[in-house]
């Protein structure tokens, strides 16, 4: 029997790993992260039920981006530019192929 994957999509695992790495590097305290993420989930959950897939990790990404900009670890404009670059890369990548930035 093949075990179920821990994450629905590769980007979910990558986002999780990045968040853990930033925590371990001292960019933020995990209890602060948990409070912020809980607030984001509550805010998103009021509009629709989260299923632990993309909706859950979109909320995760929103929380991480907000935390990084609020602490000064990242600039909002840089995050916006990076998001736009990934979206463009995704849109030009054939289905089933890995998405990469130029």
| Domain boundaries of the chain, sorted by first residue | 32-91
The model's pTM is 0.81
Contacts of 35 (CB under 8 A, 6+ apart): none
Q: Report whether pLDDT(2) > 70.
A: no
Distance of CA 9 to the CA centre of its chain: 12
Contact at 8 Å (CB) between 52 and 16? no
What is 16-38 written as a DSSP string?
A: HHHHHHHHHTTSS-HHHHHHHHH
pLDDT digits over 9-65, tens only? 888 999 999 999 999 999 999 999 999 999 998 888 766 666 668 888 999 999 999
Residue 98 banded pLDDT, cuts 50, 70, 90: confident
């Amino acid at each position: 029997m093949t075990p179920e994957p821990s994450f629905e999509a590769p980007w979910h695992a990558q986002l999780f790993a990045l968040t853990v790495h930033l925590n371990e590097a001292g960019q933020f305290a995990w209890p602060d992260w948990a409070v912020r993420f809980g607030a984001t989930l509550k805010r998103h959950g009021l509009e629709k039920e989260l299923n632990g897939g993309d909706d859950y990790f979109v909320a995760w990404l929103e929380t991480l981006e907000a935390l990084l900009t609020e602490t000064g670890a990242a600039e909002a404009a840089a995050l916006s530019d990076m998001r736009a670059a990934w979206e463009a890369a995704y849109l030009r990548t054939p289905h089933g192929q890995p998405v990469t930035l130029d």
